[in-house]
Amino acid sequence: MTNIPFNKPSVVGNEFAYMNEAVRNGHASGDGPFTRKVHQFLENALGIQKALLTTSCTHALEMSALLLDIQPGDEVIVPSFTFVSTINAFVLRGAKPVFADIKPSTLNLDERLLDGLIGPRTKAIVVVHYAGVGCELSEILDIASKHHVPVIEDNAHGLFGRYRGRFLGTFGAMATQSFHETKNFISGEGGALLINDPRYTERAEIIREKGTNRSRFFRGQVDKYTWVDIGSSYLPSDILAAFLYAQLEHREEIQGKRKRIWEYYQDSLGGWAPAHDVGLPVIPLWCEQAYHMYYLLLPSLDRRQALIRFLKERGIMAVFHYLPLHLSGMGQTFGGKQGDCPVTEDVSDRLLRLPFYNDITEEEQERVVRGIEDFFG
Ligand SMILES: Cc1ncc(COP(=O)(O)O)c(C=O)c1O
């Protein structure tokens, strides 16, 4: 029997033909024709002001920290239950993380805690739409605007998900996307910064292009380009943009497949899970999820670890994440300690992600489900 990996990147259309074309175009570096196509696609599909492709979501987050002019000692509120880049991008500028706990339902930042975490030094609230299910954006944006604090959406999981009918990534001052190989749409490594507040657009182009006004030069708005600000090289090769564009062209097909995969797990496990004290994803009625992942919440850490081993013996790779950031080595240097974020600490021990990729077959999913049921006996 073949192994079932946790993730497998897939090719859906013209990826390699477009990569060839990108080279033949004579513009294989950044901001070539395919990058422009991806920018236009994202701007039109999401109805946003500006999309800028980046080399990763991590780099898009770093750009957002630079654009907010984060200074040493500034505080940034972030869920403890997230990937390290969500906050590391801000810590790189000298920020102090203020870790928020999550809700046991959606595993998103608990908006009821925000008021108590905002202080005079708070310079940003970074939210994560975990598993592509929207945070409570109405409440979060209300609280943030009351305190004049910008919201950044780390939407690494949530491209094309919606909250109350509106696309995730269109609510905050800025949002970041990931096209890493584990995401719904991929370019191996890759990301994007979405800009909803036009005050950031011009400087974003400069920061992304090594601190130069090269983008304005290419548009004929200045007659030479030069160093005007701090910056780095955050733009991906047009060859990677070409791969990504071919994926985005198949948006409906990819999202349709992922919806079917998600629903297969849900239909198979929905009736079984409560009787075995296993939690499943919660999707509020007002959220259209992005179908990024499917997870279980096992009754305990021991049971989760035993299930991982049991499935592995059957060639099935199921994985866990995230370790609470406030308890990490770095998190502790910022004062994080056991008990600060009890829901995060609990969920982090019990969560298990099931194999989930565009080309997983129903037979493979059936094997995963049977493996889980057999483990519980
Ligand atoms: C919530 C979240 N933010 C950011 C990232 C970083 O994305 P990238 O690998 O594109 O830098 C990830 C990676 O999986 C993530 O899960």
Per-residue pLDDT tens digits for 211-256:
999 999 888 998 889 999 999 999 999 999 999 999 999 999 999 9
What per-residue confidence (pLDDT) applies to 1?
77
Which segments of the chain are extended strands (E)? 50-54, 75-79, 96-100, 122-128, 151-154, 162-163, 166-167, 174-178, 191-195, 287-288, 295-297, 351-353
Computed on alpha carbons and rounded to an integer, the radius of gyration of the chain in Å comes to 21
Element (H, E) at 366: helix 362-376
CA of 206 to the centre of ligand 1 (A): 23
Q: What is the mean pLDDT of residues 264-277?
A: 98
What per-residue confidence (pLDDT) applies to 332?
98
Atom of ligand 1 nearest to the CA of 179: 10
User: Which residues, 6+ apart, have CB-to-CB distance to 377 below 8 Å?
Assistant: none
pLDDT tens digits along 58-72: 999 999 999 999 999
The CA distance from 86 to 89, in Å, is 6
Nearest CA to ligand 1 atom 7: 57
Q: What is the mean pLDDT of residues 173-193?
A: 98
What per-residue confidence (pLDDT) applies to 224?
87
- Split at pLDDT 50, 70, 90, the class of 125 is very high
pLDDT tens digits along 294-320: 999 999 999 999 999 999 999 999 999
pTM: 0.98
**Is pLDDT above 80 for 53?**
yes
Which token pair is 9?
A: 């990147």
CA angle 151, 153, 154 (to 5 degrees): 140
What per-residue confidence (pLDDT) applies to 294?
98
**Is pLDDT above 80 for 29?**
yes
Average pLDDT of the chain to the nearest whole number: 97
Partnered with residue 174 across adjacent β-strands are 152, 195
Q: Which of 59, 176, 180 to mutate to test the pocket of ligand 1 (most atoms within 8 A of CB)?
A: 180
Q: What is the mean pLDDT of residues 90-110?
A: 98
Q: Which residues line ligand 1 (CB under 6 A)?
A: 56-58, 82-83, 85-86, 128, 154, 156-157, 178, 180, 191
Nearest CA to ligand 1 atom 16: 83
